[in-house]
Amino acid sequence: MTLDNAALLGQAKSLIKAMVLIWVVALGLWQLLDWMAKPSTMPIKQVRVEADLRYLTREDISQTLLPYVETGYFDVDSKAIVQAVTQLEWVEEVSVRRVWPDTVVVEIIEQMPVAVWNKTALLNTQGDVFKPVVPQSLMKLPNLSGLNRNSKDILVQSRQINQSIASLDLSVQQLSLSEHGSWQVVLNNGIQVKIGNVLPKKEMSKSLKALASLQGDLVSHVGTIDLRYPNGVAVAWKVGYQFGQPNKTDAALAVNKQQAGKGQII
């Protein structure tokens, strides 16, 4: 046998040994993974739900989790659990972690409703629309309405209006934005404010001047304030209230740019 043949034979033997070693390692790894995937291998014995629940029930959560935790520690599919729990109506955010050797911890953050949306859905604090079965107790929330794509902007406007009228102990009860871009507000004292196509925050100062100009209990008789005039506002009294003369139920309050803060009821 020549030296070259001996060298080739040695290389072949080394290659065969390496291939056998790789095969043995691969087989061992496959057996290990198969063992780890079996539900009987370190089975999950405890599922801990960490959540401050107001609307969800632990029974609903348990029923959702059950198919995903009847397995072993190594075979828990955290992504599948997150996807399943997120489908529950009141869930905003979910995270899952395993705790050695037999526990799964599921953290849930519930949706926080801040407004009723289009009478059938709710808005969360970010202005996102979600559609659970709305409890009657939440129907007292401000009622906002418009196209779904405008939900965040409408919520922002309602907050800005509330800031501007807080000094009068008023707040937004209803705020709507029509398909044509027209805004309308109903305050918590029942006064309806027609704003038009201008952003509410910019126009609400006119309604505040109008309300400030009314004396005594006149404010309680205001039905509608119409801000859709360039140099003033119109005030309509509630049905049945007569101001000044019999059968006179409407009044115009002139608040022009040159006489800001002054008004005349006619």
pLDDT at 147: 97
Total count of residues recorded for the chain: 266
**What's the pLDDT band for 227 if we cut at 50, 70, 90?**
confident
Task: Write down the pLDDT at residue 35.
Answer: 58
Distance, CA of 44 to CA of 69 (rounded, Å): 6
Q: Which two tokens stand for residue 231?
A: 């140099």
- The residue with greater pLDDT, 219 or 3, is 219
User: Count of CB atoms within 10 A of residue 9's CB?
Assistant: 11
Domains in the chain: boundaries: 1-37, 46-110, 115-259
Residues in Cβ contact with 93 at an 8 Å cutoff, skipping those fewer than 6 apart = 108, 109
Element (H, E) at 15: helix 3-37
- Secondary structure E strands in 77-181: 91-99, 103-110, 115-117, 121-123, 129-130, 143-145, 172-177
* The two structure tokens encoding residue 46: 């405890």
Per-residue b or e along 175-199, where b marks 16 or more CB atoms closer than 10 Å to that residue's CB: bebeeeeebbbbbeeebbbbbeeee
Give the pLDDT of residue 76.
92
Spatial neighbors of 252 by CB under 8 A, at least 6 apart, are 232, 234, 235, 265, 266
- Give residue 216's pLDDT: 63
**Neighbouring C-beta atoms of residue 226, cutoff 10 Å:** 19
115-259 CATH fold: Rossmann fold (3.40.50)
What fold is seen in the domain 46-110? Answer: Ubiquitin-like (UB roll) (3.10.20)
pLDDT value at 257 more than 50: no
Q: Say which residue the tokens 């505040």 belong to.
A: 208
| Assigned token pair, 168 | 């009068």
Its pTM stands at: 0.73
- Closest by Cα among 247, 220, 222, 218 to 233: 222
- Asked if 197 and 183 touch (Cβ cutoff 8 Å), the reply is yes
pLDDT in tens, 64-91: 999 999 998 888 999 999 999 999 999 9
